[in-house]
Structure 1
Amino acid sequence: MIAKNYTITSEQGIHARPATVIVGALTNFKSEVKIEYKGKQANLKSIMGVMALGVPNGATITITADGEDEAQVIEKMDEVMKNEGLAQ
């Protein structure tokens, strides 16, 4: 299992469009991927789960990947967070 923290820098936080991009980027990975914010967890492969967390600007989230391709999942998340201007 690999976990990584991100601080959200997007003014709108994680709203519908970036949530869709994140979920779409992870669909082909086999690992279980979770997002955690304020003690609540959601499946990062579920748009509704991500949206339900209501992650705002300035929030610190933890993304956890567990499975055979977990390292690639975290690499992809680093790429998506940077390219979408979501986090540092």
Structure 2
Amino acid sequence: MFTKEVVVKNKSGIHARPAAEIVGIAVKFRSSVFLKKGEDRVNAKSILGVIALGASYDTRLTIETEGEDEVRAAETLAQVFNSVQEENNA
């Protein structure tokens, strides 16, 4: 298992549009991909799960990946996560 921390900097939090982009990247990897907020853990390949996590501005999340491409999955998702936030803050 590989983990990477990210912080939500989008003032609107992770709503439908950024959630869809996050899921769109997560599904491209063979590894299992999860987002964790406190004790809550959701499948990052599920848009409903990502939205239900309720990640608002300044929330710290942990990306957890497990599988053959786990490091690449976590690193790519973190990059996409940041680009989604920057786009929405522009």
Whether TM-score is above 0.5 comes out as yes
AA paired with 2:45? K
2:44 paired with 1:44: yes
Q: Structure 1 residue runs of 4+, over 3 Å off?
A: none
Residue type matched to 1:75 in 2?
A: E
* Aligned CA-pair RMSD: 1.1
Counterpart CA distance in 2 for 1:57 and 1:82 is: 13
Structure-to-structure mapping, 1:24-39, within 5 angstroms? 24-39=24-39
Give how far 1:26 is off. Answer: 1.5
Question: What's the CA shift for 1:69?
Answer: 0.4
Task: Please state which structure has a larger fraction of its residues in helix.
Answer: 2
After superposition, give the CA deviation of every residue in 1:19-40 in whole Å (9 maximum; x if it has no partner): 0000001212110011111210
Q: Which residue of 2 aligns with 1:9?
A: 9
Amino acid at match of 1:31: S
User: Distance between the aligned counterparts of 1:17 and 1:10, measured in 2?
Assistant: 12
Segments of structure 2 that go 5 or more residues without pairing to the other structure are none
Cα distance in 2, alignment partners of residues 11 and 28 from structure 1: 27
Instruction: Give the count of matched residue pairs.
Output: 86
Partner Cα separation in structure 2 for residue 7 and residue 83 of structure 1 = 12
Shift of 1:49: 0.6
Structure 1 residue 64 and structure 2 residue 73: aligned?
Answer: no
Distance 2:77 2:7 in 1: 13
**Cα distance, 1:75 vs. partner?**
2.0
Counterpart contact for 2:18–2:85, Cα < 8 Å: no
What secondary structure is seen at the aligned counterpart in 1 of 2:9? Answer: coil
Which deviates more, 70-79 or 7-16? 70-79
Q: Percent identity over the alignment?
A: 37
Gaps of 5+ in 1: none
